Structure 1
Amino acid sequence: MSVSATESTASTGYAESAIRVLKGLEPVRQRPGMYTRTDSPLHIVQEVIDNAADEALAGHARRIRVTRHADGSVSVEDDGRGIPHGLHPEEQAPVLELVFTRLHAGGKFDKGKGGAYSFSGGLHGVGVSVTNALASRLEVESHRDGHVARIAFADGEVAEPLTRRPLQPGERRQGTTVRVWPDARYFDSVELPMAELTHLLRSKAVLLPGVTVTLTDEKTRQTQSWQFKGGLRDYLQQTLAAEPLIPLFEGEGYAPAGDDSFAEGEGAAWVVAFTEDGPLLRESYVNLIPTPAGGTHDSGLREGLFQAVRSFIELHALLPKGVKLLPEDVFARASYVLSAKVLDPQFQGQIKERLNSRDALRLVASFVRPALELWLHQHVEHGKRLAELVIRTAQSRQKAAQKVEKRKSSGVAVLPGKLTDCESRDLARNELFLVEGDSAGGSAKMGRDKTFQAVLPLRGKILNTWEVEPQRLFANQEVHDIAVAIGVDPHRRGDAVDLSGLRYGKICILSDADVDGAHIQVLLLTLFFRHFPALIEAGHVFVARPPLYRVDVPARGKKPAGKFYALDDGELTAILDKCAQDGVPREKCQISRFKGLGEMSAEQLWDTTLNPDTRRLLPVTLGDGDAAATVRCFDQLMGKGEAAARRELLERYGDAVDVDV
């Protein structure tokens, strides 16, 4: 007996009334880990500190004071302009209230067109509102325009409405004070990690020369204060554990008005030390925000250092025969502090641990390389000492790679003719791209870095190998070529597998960003999951994500014309929305859709998909499900006898999928 759709949904409790809409700050309290770190309240306090630092960066504050109170609360005080406390012209609510209760409200969106901040760490507009959402109580005082405004919140809601009074004689005329009581329900521990907080505040003082940063701990009755007039250089010199091999290399560079590539004021300041031994110090910041996971600005520093040192070594003919330099040879013994200024930084995640802005690599490298080249030519003896260190590092790396190759060189099969191999034999560095089609393979061969990236073009769609016996695999030429190129024999889950013959640390599936490309991805994933499972378990298989769209955006305000790439329609919409915020209507943005990888130039393919510093590469894992669940899924999708199950799947979910065919 059949059951109607209405009866079915009613029985499961899934009806219109089951859809819940989260409002205000409720999404943050439901999933705090999506917005902040939940091991301690440090990050929600840092959001308040960052706002104070942004005032100093804009030149309006000279003092930041942080206090850990005896009751566990934390207050942050600055002498900046004070948060506006009048009514918002559109929302008709006090701005001071909106900033702390709306996820996307702030003064840092309109950059470069008369906004409140030209450069700031704020990006997402969810900063201090997250602090408020995860606090049992939060109090704000703003000194501005001859008045003091005060408002208090409890559990993210207004507890004491906004009040204003005239300034009293002797009161400071401007500035903001925020006091927050973190809610223990949302954190593993409500204790602030004082060592991390101290390091954060000290770094703010380093990056803001002349600004005084103070930390007071009422529990221990201790006060620390920092002011670094020498900036980055003083900080690195005081922190380095070993004596530098050559004098510190420091510099800065910022784009002038009218620059063709970057907005006025974008650039970086840096100081670099090379040591022969001892621990390294590596810290980077974007608009004063620490980026402990690095990002494209770190990659730009590495690229600039490498190009300059390689140029010096080649000019003076210092490189021994048979030695090939790589960026990591120059970077291996480098300690640095890097402070980048980026007009519209794109971070990975709300906690901003890594910078993703593609242009930041070119930005930093364009200033570092000429500065270091000039410095090395002015200090030739120092340059030669650095060259000796770099060459020794390269020789050690090559010797280590040769030892590994010698151990695994027995019985090597003849490599397929269409494989364009790489020069390196360093397994940890080498990458193989399995590319859809000869046309895309040609672009990949021209765009790749031939030192460590190999390309194997595949003609059309490979065989569905889900139900193919291992002894019949090599009857298919494409599968044969893949197996021989990889250097590992087919096997099944649970077999004792010898991976000593593996030739590449990363095996990357690179197909078009369309339906056919997705089908090829599935066929290759089927091959690896069924016949090379040890490669997936060991983390050697990846999926490259090329863009589907390119958006050419004209100049807007301080921002020069630029090119942006989108993986899908969602990212395209986000780019166009951001352009609209910057005053560029959709019709002025030129949108190009890539019909396939073959349409991309070698340079575009490198920038978006091959360059390790700017690409998006997804590791292939079993995910949350176990191996048995994955096998069942593949059975349903790839099994010859599962046509009925696939049809049922399509009938059930087909109307929910927007397919571009």
Structure 2
Amino acid sequence: MAETPKNSEYDGGEIKILEGLEAVRKRPGMYIGSTSASGLHHLVWEIVDNSVDEAMAGFCTEISVTVHADNSITVVDNGRGIPVDLHPVKKIPTLEVVMTILHAGGKFDNSAYKVSGGLHGVGISVVNALSKKVVVQVKRDGNVYEMQFARGKTTEKMKVVGQSEQTGTTVTFWPDDEIFETCVYDFDTLHNRLQETAFLNKNLKISLTDEREATPRVEEFCYAGGIIDFVRFLNDGKDVPEGLKDPIYIEGKTGPETPLDKMGEVEVALQWNSGYGENVMSFANDIYTPEGGMHLEGFRTALTRVVNDYARKQGLLKEKEANLTGDDVREGLSAVISVKLPDPQFEGQTKAKLGSSYMRTLTNKVVSDGLAEYLEEHPKQARTIVSKAQQACKARTAARKAREATRRKSLLESASLPGKLADCSVRDAELTELFIVEGDSAGGSAKDGRRRDIQAILPLRGKILNVERVGDHRAFSSDTIQSLITAIGTGVTTAAGDGGDFDITKARYHKIIIMTDADVDGAHIRILLMTFFYKYMRPLIDAGYIYVACPPIFGVKVRKKIHYVYPNGRQTEEEILRDTIRSLGFSPDDDGDTKDDSGKLKKKKRGYDVQRYKGLGEMDPKQLASTTMDPKTRILQRVTIEDAAAADRAVRELMGSEVGYRRDYIERHAHDARFLDA
């Protein structure tokens, strides 16, 4: 694709106005998805995406994001700077137009930006509308200009506050606590998204600073290899077959004679590992497309056809043997597909799926030509790829038989579900809950304390299989996993994600709650179960059916009343306990003994007693019900997947062969439950 020349005009005339602003504060979910933590972080993405658009146009090399102590955010780039001249239509500074008018931007006619992620011109104005204060500084034309806004309105007119020979834009904003459920930013969420952005933009330097800690935490990302480094990152900690240590990189673009609306660039990096899952991530103009689209279709079609053609040509597939399927070829594959195009068409407001049909043809051609050339030039690696796909084909056949056996068993047992399952009497799945409980002791208490009409209990004995480290055949042969599948009723997807026989409409419960002890072993079992759901029943997570129960860690008894203490994800257990004791009017350092005026030790009753709950079985059924199971008083954490790369990495690191990742995670998060039951 032709580059935008360095002297390209970018002034007020480039900013096109579509319509005005007001509805954003009334219906913020239409613009940022929600007013939860997800929507809060979306404000940062809107500003960063503008800076990335400058980078893709060739005018920005550095972006910095800072989280200040009060959870305000500053984003700085060294791009051209938002235009500050008078807008030819509105007759006010173009900066003010961009900040206060919805659908005002330089991305509608491809003159200022040939490629951009922000397409609707709503980003920065939406941030303004949903912030209680915004300060923008622009360096350009030798000056530093500043303007201030609040809740979508201009509060201080543009003025010159200094001089600078540099160019760029600095945006600082304070999210509006009247709009958002929380205004506290999560460092890991910011870290993962910014790192992903750096991978997708070769040599773009992005820094993240968190000033909320005593010693500010700083992370920097810059990848000379771009998506090649991204694929290495996705496979970090996985076993990569000998000969495939270097990712395959393919790129291509349309020719100069191509009409503007059909131009495009394609970058693909791929590498197989020895695992069973598929992790293919697709992006269009740096926007993650979790549902894929035309570029993903083109990639998959080309990959399957080229590998089969090579295998036939080299005699690796015999004449009577069937072709390898797409699932066979993609087993253990990590890949990143990144396409750039001037006017991408997405399906739906969330941009989850690319609909520009010509990108399917372009991606197919680029991948077909590049991969065929690679296989011809690297016969040893090519044979390894084909051999791995053939092994996957054999395993898929065995797994299908095991899955069919599980389904037949489920049908046979439909009248009498798994023996340990204490089912509920109500049959309306929208009203019912399944508690997956650790051990027979806790299972007994849960059965006695439950609401028998809507709450079912399935006790597990010991830890279930780590399904990340075994194939489908072994997983479906496990009695424990068969019991889970039978009890839930939906069937399963396969590791390759082909849908399997999964049918969410057959779910017997719309709340499936993992209830384990609040200790390290309990955390491990939770992780194993979440890994199972992530791999074989992920649609249940996407539908919001999977939860983790949050049992109390202490009971503080004052007279005859017990005050239960829960983890909050921010403090240590000791800190939470001490704060609770103080809130009850006692000193946590009081051991009950005092001295009189003569110095003589005087025994005194402390006034409270503390019990540490190491396991669910230590609570009687009434306590377990009131603290952990009663919808009116319990705390549940809904399991969600907000970032596919982070989720896959977590599952891989926690469930893979590297023990250190699991140990570190459990030590940090064993008692983390932060979201109240909806």
Calculate the TM-score normalised by the size of structure 2: 0.54
Structure-2 residue corresponding to 1:89:
88
Which amino acid in 1 is paired with 2:132? S
Map 1:238-387; keep pairs closer than 5 Å. 238-240=233-235, 241-245=237-241, 246=244, 247-259=246-258, 263-264=262-263, 266-277=264-275, 281-320=279-318, 321-387=320-386
Separation (CA, whole Å) in 1 of partners of 2:403 and 2:157:
69
Structure-2 residue corresponding to 1:178:
171
Correspondence 1:162 to 2:158:
yes
- Give yes or no for contact 1:201–1:213 (8 Å, CA) kept in 2: yes
Could you say what the CA RMSD is over the residues aligned between the two structures, in angstroms? 3.1
Separation (CA, whole Å) in 2 of partners of 1:190 and 1:345:
32
Structure-1 residue corresponding to 2:222:
227
User: Aligned in 2, Cα 1:110/1:330: closer, same or farther, shift over 3 Å?
Assistant: same
Q: From 125, 133, 137, give the equivalent of 1:137.
A: 133
Structure-1 residue corresponding to 2:196:
203
- Gaps (5+ residues) in structure 1? 1-22, 410-497, 507-534, 540-620, 622-661
1:294: Cα distance to partner?
3.2
Output one character per residue of 1:528-574: Cα deviation in whole Å (capped at 9) or x when no partner. xxxxxxx99449xxxxxxxxxxxxxxxxxxxxxxxxxxxxxxxxxxx
1:268: Cα distance to partner?
1.4
- Give yes or no for contact 2:25–2:129 (8 Å, CA) kept in 1: yes
Which amino acid in 1 is paired with 2:332? R
Separation (CA, whole Å) in 2 of partners of 1:58 and 1:93:
26
- Give yes or no for contact 2:141–2:165 (8 Å, CA) kept in 1: no
Structure-2 residue corresponding to 1:47:
46
Separation (CA, whole Å) in 2 of partners of 1:193 and 1:37:
17
Q: SS where residue 47 of structure 1 aligns?
A: helix
User: Aligned in 2, Cα 1:403/1:185: closer, same or farther, shift over 3 Å?
Assistant: same
- Give yes or no for contact 2:104–2:122 (8 Å, CA) kept in 1: yes
Output one character per residue of 1:408-427: Cα deviation in whole Å (capped at 9) or x when no partner. 99xxxxxxxxxxxxxxxxxx
Separation (CA, whole Å) in 1 of partners of 2:152 and 2:338:
34
- Give yes or no for contact 1:284–1:294 (8 Å, CA) kept in 2: yes
Which amino acid in 1 is paired with 2:396? R
Which amino acid in 1 is paired with 2:73? V
1:280: Cα distance to partner?
5.5
Q: How many residues align?
A: 393
- Give yes or no for contact 1:271–1:337 (8 Å, CA) kept in 2: yes
- Gaps (5+ residues) in structure 2? 1-18, 409-488, 492-497, 508-542, 544-678
Structure-2 residue corresponding to 1:104:
103
- Give yes or no for contact 1:50–1:289 (8 Å, CA) kept in 2: no
Which amino acid in 2 is paired with 1:25? L
1:105: Cα distance to partner?
0.9
Identity %: 35
Which amino acid in 2 is paired with 1:68? V
Output one character per residue of 1:169-215: Cα deviation in whole Å (capped at 9) or x when no partner. xx352100111111123333222221121122122222222222111
- Give yes or no for contact 1:64–1:212 (8 Å, CA) kept in 2: yes
Separation (CA, whole Å) in 1 of partners of 2:377 and 2:22:
59
Output one character per residue of 1:68-94: Cα deviation in whole Å (capped at 9) or x when no partner. 111211011111100001121122222
Output one character per residue of 1:18-73: Cα deviation in whole Å (capped at 9) or x when no partner. xxxxx943322222112113222111110100111111111111111111111211
- Give yes or no for contact 1:255–1:262 (8 Å, CA) kept in 2: no
Separation (CA, whole Å) in 1 of partners of 2:47 and 2:311:
47
Separation (CA, whole Å) in 2 of partners of 1:128 and 1:317:
57
Separation (CA, whole Å) in 2 of partners of 1:180 and 1:141:
12
Separation (CA, whole Å) in 2 of partners of 1:297 and 1:192:
33
Structure-2 residue corresponding to 1:13:
none
Which amino acid in 2 is paired with 1:119? V
Which amino acid in 2 is paired with 1:43? H
Separation (CA, whole Å) in 1 of partners of 2:201 and 2:118:
17
Output one character per residue of 1:92-143: Cα deviation in whole Å (capped at 9) or x when no partner. 22211111222211101112xxx11101112122121211121111111111
- Give yes or no for contact 1:324–1:394 (8 Å, CA) kept in 2: no
Output one character per residue of 1:590-616: Cα deviation in whole Å (capped at 9) or x when no partner. xxxxxxxxxxxxxxxxxxxxxxxxxxx
1:499: Cα distance to partner?
11
Separation (CA, whole Å) in 1 of partners of 2:199 and 2:407:
50
- Give yes or no for contact 1:36–1:351 (8 Å, CA) kept in 2: no
Q: SS where residue 257 of structure 1 aligns?
A: coil
User: Aligned in 2, Cα 1:157/1:207: closer, same or farther, shift over 3 Å?
Assistant: same
Which amino acid in 2 is paired with 1:65? S
1:276: Cα distance to partner?
1.6
Separation (CA, whole Å) in 2 of partners of 1:499 and 1:298:
27
User: Aligned in 2, Cα 1:281/1:146: closer, same or farther, shift over 3 Å?
Assistant: same
Structure-1 residue corresponding to 2:205:
212
Separation (CA, whole Å) in 2 of partners of 1:296 and 1:186:
36
1:405: Cα distance to partner?
6.8
User: Aligned in 2, Cα 1:388/1:278: closer, same or farther, shift over 3 Å?
Assistant: closer
User: Aligned in 2, Cα 1:84/1:260: closer, same or farther, shift over 3 Å?
Assistant: closer
